[in-house]
Amino acid sequence: MLDVMIVDDSAAIRKILRRVLDQTDLVIDKVHEAGDGLEALELLKTNTVQLILCDINMPNMDGIELLQRLKAQEDLRSVPVMMVTTEGSQARVMQALELGAAGYVKKPFTAAQIKEKLTGLV
Amino acid sequence: MTELPVDLLAKSASTGMKEVFSTMLGLEVEPGPPQTQHDRLESFGGIMALVGIGGAWTGAGRLLISPKMACTLAGALLMSTFEGVDEEVLDAIGEIANMVVGGTKTILEEELGPLSLSIPTVIFGKNYSTHSGKVHDWLVLPFHCGGEQIELRFCLMPTHANARAGFQMEAQHI
């Protein structure tokens, strides 16, 4: 059983990603939602997750900074982080992957693209 | 490059729009003829989603739709039904605008250099006016979807550093 976190400032995208997760073969116990990086870090103080789906462009703390913070923490650095974002610039994608992102899906996305990227990740 | 590449912008925006509508909403959009419009104080009604653009070029993308179309698009995105405009509908429209402008930005970056996006802002009301400082022209792109019109507008100008680099390049050719 997995606990998953979705980090995106759009409630609509969080809802869509929840629906996509329901369609996968993953056995999910709980989905936590955060509207930005700061909220995600706060939730991670009291919750353990095995997978994070994360936007890049967000207020307060963006996905790149969240990724840096996660990789700097002993107990969180092994959690796979899949970036799901409108950010299509090669530089930003490379930055996320170099920081240790497990993968990258560009919005707009299909459910099949998300499922394919998640296969074998957890 | 210091002149707005109108054809490139129109083509990129049309591609971005079609991609978002077909992939995320399961809807087809038909582009109409683009036109350039000088910035002026004009009244709007309905929903306007704004996404700022920064980097080598600066400006914004705007998506303008009716409340009825907003409910249709939010319903298609969230696989739900909306009878009226609420926070969930406005959030969905902001995200649709974000994806459309983001997709356009990604294509434009190949020619214009690195660009960045702001977080979307959505305005909903009757008879409101907008003014953009130092903006001269908007590229207006009409689209048709299910018998309704959707309007996408872009303004883009080179940033000071980009314009200076362009002038220096032009000077070297003299």
Higher pLDDT, B44 or B153: B153
Contact list, B114 vs chain A (CB under 8 Å) = 89, 91
Percent of chain A with pLDDT over 70: 100
Higher pLDDT, B1 or B21: B21
- pTM score: 0.90
**Which pLDDT score is estimated for B145?**
95
B91 has a chain A CB within 8 A of its CB? yes
| Cα A106–Cα B80–Cα B127 angle in degrees, nearest 5 | 85
A16 has a chain B CB within 8 A of its CB? yes
Q: What is the pLDDT of residues B114-161, one digit of tens each?
A: 899 999 999 999 988 887 777 678 999 999 999 999 999 999 988 876
Q: What is the pLDDT of residues A46-84, one digit of tens each?
A: 999 999 999 999 999 999 999 999 999 999 999 999 999
Burial class (CB in 10 A: 0-12, 13-18, 19+), B108: buried
Helices in chain B by DSSP H: which ranges?
6-20, 67-78, 87-112, 160-173
Distance, CA of A30 to CA of A6 (rounded, Å): 11
**Which pLDDT score is estimated for A62?**
95
Residue B172 has pLDDT above 50, yes or no: no
Which of A7-21, A98-112, B29-43, B83-97 is least confident?
B29-43
The shortest C-alpha distance from B173 to chain A (Å) reads 31
Closest CA to B98 of A49, A8, A61, A71: A8
Contact list, B119 vs chain A (CB under 8 Å) = 9, 57-59
Residue B42 has pLDDT above 90, yes or no: no
Q: Count other Cβ atoms within 10 Å, centred on residue A91.
A: 10
**Which pLDDT score is estimated for A39?**
98
In this structure, which amino acid lies at residue A66? L
**Which pLDDT score is estimated for A71?**
97
- Look at B105 and A12 and tell me if their CB atoms are within 8 Å: no
pLDDT band at A8 (very low <50, low <70, confident <90, very high): very high
pLDDT band at B165 (very low <50, low <70, confident <90, very high): low
| Minimal Cβ distance to B119: which of A9, A11, A12 | A9
Q: What does CATH list as the number for B6-38+45-172?
A: 3.40.1550.10
A13 has a chain B CB within 8 A of its CB? yes
Residue B24 has pLDDT above 70, yes or no: yes
**Which pLDDT score is estimated for B162?**
65
Q: What is the pLDDT of residues B52-111, one digit of tens each?
A: 999 989 999 999 999 999 999 999 999 999 999 999 999 999 999 999 999 999 999 988
To the nearest whole number, what is the mean pLDDT of chain A?
94
Is the Cα dihedral B73, B76, B78, B83 positive or negative? Answer: positive
- Look at B77 and A108 and tell me if their CB atoms are within 8 Å: no
Whether the complex's predicted ipTM surpasses the cut of 0.85: yes
